[in-house]
């Protein structure tokens, strides 16, 4: 019997939920690991889910790639994977910890009709991609599973795997670690199986972050009723070459730097063209993974939230100079920066709280960037790497940067209020550098 999850109107793609299971770890979590403490980075994250969808072409025909055997393989490998990632099978206990009770994760199987995988990846209808997820993204009750999975089978044989994970226990890098760990288990690559490290609560232990959490919850609740629209802008290799050429004041600018600077500049200009006070400051936030920035670096697969937000504000600047400003802010997050975070000094928490209060009062316009490049395209479940990855994220003034399928370009997933996106997507200074979908 099909289980309706949520309805989205005006869709050519139809997704029917065929089954729902709970997948538990293949081995019980030892008693001494039943409590998983959150780091203070985990504590200050809003209680929401964030999603990813990975798309795969039809597996080569064999006795081990039928729908039934694929389903069995994914379930069994997920169960084994959860033994290593045991906190993900638990439930949030309180503001500071997860009860690792092996309650399991939600696992749904669905069939997709009215379109093929090729239709989706060549001409994606962004709102309809939410149907490939196991739940409405961003809504997470603390007693709910920390991970939800939906495996979608297209009639053409293609597969889309949608995963939602709680931001209270993972950042994008940790989500990538989990997805890649699961894929290693699925293809039976014992040497490549990822062993996550749960050390962040020791390095960044509990702090009294209640006031910050309250501000974060308020900001999330405040945006729930607003209509947020996501558009995808694709910058291919030649687009990036033109942008790099314009940023001549910075040596060898990265693709993330030049794309961030262009979007930031056009965001400011599109806002100024409206009836908004020009005196209001503009700020760009960039979420940065600290794992490799610590001296010595942390384990690559350190699990949890270990990202900080760097802020650069500017009211009027050319795009080329913004590249330098973004680089300066990012390079300021070094070993000494991380050491200060570990020292117990609460300057960063105070900084974050002040920013939240200012934003809540409408004191500035901000745009938040997060690069998810290099995180998901290695996830091979036994039938090859994904042909596309999409982050159907719908949060106000958030930009997710992804690799293009060929690995040479950037996809910028820009989420703005519906009244803001109309002007932004028709910006004559932006469109020469990016295809708009």
> How crowded is the C-beta side of 36, counted as CA atoms within 13 Å?
26
Domains of the chain in sequence order: 14-203 (3.30.559.10), 210-374+382-436 (3.30.559.10)
Q: E-assigned strands of 100-242?
A: 105-113, 147-154, 159-166, 228-235
d(CA 83, CA 34): 12
138, 167, 286, 301: the active-site residue: 167
Alpha-carbon gap, residue 29 to 87, rounded angstroms:
9
- Residue 275's pLDDT is what? 55
65, 173 in Cβ contact below 8 A? Answer: no
Q: Does position 62 have pLDDT exceeding 80, yes or no?
A: no
Residue tagged 């390079």 (tokens): 331
Average pLDDT in the chain: 86
pLDDT tens-place string over residues 409-431: 999 999 999 989 988 988 888 98
CA dist., res. 166 & res. 147, Å (int)? 7
pLDDT in tens, 196-223: 999 899 988 887 766 665 655 545 545 5
In this model, does residue 240 exceed pLDDT 50? yes
User: In the block, which residue shows the tokens 């609460």?
Assistant: 346
Reply yes or no on whether 220 is catalytic.
no
Residue 63 has a pLDDT of 45
Q: Which of 21, 102, 219, 380 is catalytic?
A: 380
The DSSP H or E segment spanning 54 is strand 49-56
Q: Is 125 a catalytic residue?
A: no
pLDDT higher than 80, residue 135 = yes
> What is the predicted pLDDT for the residue at 399?
96
Separation CA 425–CA 427 (nearest Å): 6
Q: What is each CA distance from 304 to 44, 178, 237, in whole angstroms? A: 12, 11, 33
pLDDT at residue 110 greater than cutoff 70: yes
């Amino acid at each position: 019997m099909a289980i309706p999850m949520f309805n989205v109107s005006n869709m050519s793609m139809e997704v029917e939920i065929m089954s729902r299971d709970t997948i538990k770890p293949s081995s019980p979590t030892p008693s001494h690991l039943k409590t998983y403490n959150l780091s203070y980075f985990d504590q200050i994250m809003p209680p929401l889910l964030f999603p990813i969808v990975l798309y795969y072409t039809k597996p080569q025909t064999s006795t081990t790639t039928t729908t039934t055997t694929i389903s069995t393989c994914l379930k069994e490998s997920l169960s084994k994977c959860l033994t290593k990632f045991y906190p993900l099978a638990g439930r949030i206990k309180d503001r500071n910890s997860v009860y690792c009770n092996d309650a399991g994760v939600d696992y749904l199987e669905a069939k997709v009709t009215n379109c093929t995988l090729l239709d989706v990846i060549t001409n994606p209808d962004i709102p309809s991609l939410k149907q490939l997820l196991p739940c409405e993204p961003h809504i997470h009750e603390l007693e709910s599973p920390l991970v939800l999975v939906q495996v979608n089978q297209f009639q053409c044989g293609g597969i889309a795997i949608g995963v939602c994970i709680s931001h209270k226990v993972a950042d994008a890098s940790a989500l990538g670690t989990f997805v890649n760990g699961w894929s290693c288990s699925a293809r039976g690559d014992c040497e490549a199986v990822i062993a996550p490290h749960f050390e962040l609560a020791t390095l960044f232990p509990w702090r009294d972050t209640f006031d910050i959490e309250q501000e974060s919850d308020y900001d999330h609740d405040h945006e729930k009723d607003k209509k947020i629209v996501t558009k995808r802008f694709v910058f291919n290799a030649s687009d990036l070459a033109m942008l790099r050429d314009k940023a001549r004041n910075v040596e060898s600018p990265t693709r993330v730097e030049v794309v961030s600077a262009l979007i930031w500049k056009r965001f400011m200009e599109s806002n100024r063209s409206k009836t908004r006070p020009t005196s209001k400051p503009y700020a760009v936030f960039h979420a940065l993974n600290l794992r490799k920035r610590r001296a010595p670096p942390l384990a690559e697969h350190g699990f949890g939230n270990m990202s900080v937000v760097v802020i650069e504000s500017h009211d009027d600047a050319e795009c080329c100079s913004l590249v330098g400003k973004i680089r300066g802010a990012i390079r300021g997050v070094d070993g000494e920066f991380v050491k200060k975070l570990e020292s117990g000094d609460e300057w960063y928490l105070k900084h974050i709280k002040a920013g939240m209060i200012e934003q809540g009062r409408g004191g500035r316009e901000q745009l938040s960037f997060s690069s998810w490049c290099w995180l998901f395209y290695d996830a091979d479940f036994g039938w090859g790497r994904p042909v596309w990855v999409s982050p159907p994220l719908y949060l106000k003034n958030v930009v997710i940067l992804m690799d293009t399928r060929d690995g040479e370009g950037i996809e910028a997933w820009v989420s703005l209020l519906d009244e803001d996106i109309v002007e932004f997507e028709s910006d004559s200074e932006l469109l020469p550098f990016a295809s708009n979908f």
